Each structure stands twice: as C-alpha cells, then as structure tokens.
C-alpha cells in the first residue's frame, strides 16, 4: 500500500470531482451518512440522532483535506490528530474502509457518469494513503 499523498494526477481528478460534488452542498453529507449506515448499520449509534451538524463538519474537513493534498507537511499531522480524536468516539481501524466505501458510493451517486473508473481508482489510492496515515497514528500496535 502506498503511504504517499503526492500523486498529482490523482489530486487533479479528486479536485475536479469534489468541485462538482460539493456544489450540491449539505446534500453530499446527508448522502454520505445514509450510505455509511447502509454499509455499517452498527455505526449509526456512534453518531448523534440528528446528523446535520456532523455532515457539515465532515464536509468542511473534506474540503480542507482536498485543499491540502499537495501539502503533506500540513495534511499528515492534521490527519493524525483527527484520527487520534476519533479514538474518543469509539472508532476502530476496521471502520476506515467502510468510510472509504461510503465516500466512493456518495461520489458515484452524486456524479453519475461524470465519475469514471479512473476517478474511482484515484479516490481509492488517496483514501488508502490517508487512512493509512490515520490508522498508523491512532492504532500504532495494529
């Protein structure tokens, strides 16, 4: 698995996809959590009953992450701190692939034919690298 976030052509695709998806605003966050709870029903009880605030926070953070893909010196420590905070929420390393699946499913649903196989591969690579950084920081002994 790659541990670098420096793959410029992936970042270009991701920014292009995200600019289109994020234009739908908070709906993106709502779709994301609907898909996540479909894939991982047990995760529903980890979140507040009303998901709106959480959806907003997730979108803000994804915006920040996507803005900083080319700046690993800022991105890596922020991602590590985010992952360590997630320990408090009861999040385990096994949850990360489910969040990745929900994110891809959200993009597929939101972008339709505008989300190509190459786009999907770029997101999978970058999400794998990001979740690798996050889980190494939060679960060092795994």
CB 47 within 8 A of CB 33: yes
Please, what is the Cα angle at 60 between 94 and 116, to 5 degrees?
Answer: 70
The least CB distance from residue 131 to ligand HEM, in Å, is: 6
Q: Which stretch binds ligand HEM (CB under 6 A): 21-29, 44-52, 70-78, 115-123?
A: 44-52
Residues 4-23 that bind ligand HEM (CB under 6 A): none
* End-to-end CA gap in the chain: 15
Name every residue whose Cβ is closer than 8 Å to that of residue 83 and which is 6 or more positions away in sequence: 133, 134, 135, 137, 138
35 binds ligand HEM (CB under 6 A): no
CB of 109 to ligand HEM, least distance (A): 18
Residue with smaller CB distance to ligand HEM, 82 or 124: 82
> In the bound complex, what is the minimum distance in angstroms from residue 114's beta carbon to ligand HEM?
22
User: Based on CB atoms, which residue is closest to ligand HEM, 12 or 57?
Assistant: 57
CA 54 to chain centroid, in Å, comes to 13
C-beta of residue 54 within 8 angstroms of C-beta of residue 30: no
Q: Give, as ranges, the residues between 75 and 134 that touch ligand HEM (CB under 6 A).
A: 82, 85-86, 89, 91, 95-96, 99, 130
| CA 108/CA 110 separation, integer angstroms | 6
Based on CB atoms, which residue is closest to ligand HEM, 14 or 99? 99
**Residue 100 and residue 110: Cα distance in Å, rounded?**
15
> Which stretches of the chain bind ligand HEM, using CB under 6 A?
43, 46-48, 54, 57-58, 61-62, 82, 85-86, 89, 91, 95-96, 99, 130
């Amino acid at each position: 698995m790659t541990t670098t976030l420096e793959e410029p052509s992936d970042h270009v695709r991701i920014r292009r996809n995200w600019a289109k998806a994020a234009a739908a605003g908070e709906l993106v966050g709502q779709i994301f959590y609907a898909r996540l709870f479909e894939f991982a029903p047990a995760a529903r009880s980890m979140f507040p009953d009303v998901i709106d605030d959480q959806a907003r926070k997730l979108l803000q953070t994804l915006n920040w992450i996507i803005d900083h893909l080319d700046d690993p010196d800022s991105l890596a420590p922020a991602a590590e701190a985010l992952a360590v905070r997630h320990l408090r929420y009861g999040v385990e390393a096994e949850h990360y692939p489910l969040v990745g699946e929900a994110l891809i499913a959200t993009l597929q649903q939101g972008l339709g034919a505008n989300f190509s196989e190459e786009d999907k591969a770029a997101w999978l690579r970058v999400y794998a690298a990001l979740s690798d950084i996050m889980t190494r920081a939060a679960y060092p002994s795994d």
